[in-house]
Copies of this chain bind each other. A is one copy, B any other.
């Protein structure tokens, strides 16, 4: 009782409509931020009535959650190695590491993270912002980010024997945080200007760290 009925669209028309809402939300939130984008505006931008909006989403936060999930699906899935995506999955760049040197692998990883940040950059920046703002938003993000962490640890494990570091857990954490931050800052605050140099130096730093005594 009281629990509003949220429609799960199955029909093509409905799915399309939902997508229009999401596109509108991403566009507006990228431009003006989550707090300054009103649901009425999103509905209007999507060419949908506000009533329809609320038949698809419980509230604005509900829509936001779905947007974050979508972003992470797009951004993370191409990095996943052994996972079978539902439909004709494109292969991950990490599917076959055997042919690559350690340096090449790290390089590839960083490049992949960069690629992820190139998709809906402004909106991802907004996600990052909201994640900081409240644990509630942060949790939404974390659920999806965990997959990425897991994947990186797998990659690292493949080179386990050659590693010179002892505290693997802290090292992973550090590297993930470092790469994320460097890429984030380069893309969101510096407009990707010195991307190449950052990739090079970052690779050097991490490889050095992992394999030098």
A residues whose Cβ falls under 8 Å from a Cβ of B? 1, 5, 32-36, 44, 125-126, 128-134, 138, 165, 167, 170-171, 173-174, 177-178, 180-182, 185, 188-189, 194, 197-198, 200-202, 204-206, 208-209, 212
Contacts and interface: CB of A to CB of B under 8 A. Distances in A.
Contact of A132 (B132, B165, B202): B132
Contact of A197 (B134, B167, B185, B188): B167
Nearest to A166: B201
Contact of A209 (B1, B129, B130, B204): B204
21 contacts: A1-B36, A35-B35, A35-B133, A125-B132, A128-B132, A129-B129, A129-B131, A129-B133, A138-B189, A167-B197, A167-B200, A170-B197, A170-B198, A174-B205, A177-B182, A178-B182, A178-B205, A180-B181, A205-B206, A205-B208, A208-B208
Nearest to A190: B173
Contact of A33 (B133, B177, B180, B182): B133
B182 A198 contact: no
A44 B200 CA distance: 53
A198 B212 contact: no
Nearest to A183: B177
Given A128-B132, A129-B130, 10 more contacts: A32-B134, A33-B134, A34-B133, A35-B35, A126-B132, A126-B133, A130-B133, A177-B181, A180-B181, A212-B212
A65 to B, nearest CB: 18
A64 B107 CA distance: 40
A112 to B, nearest CB: 18
Contacts of A125: 132
Contacts of A131: 129
Given A177-B182, A182-B178, A132 B188 contact: yes
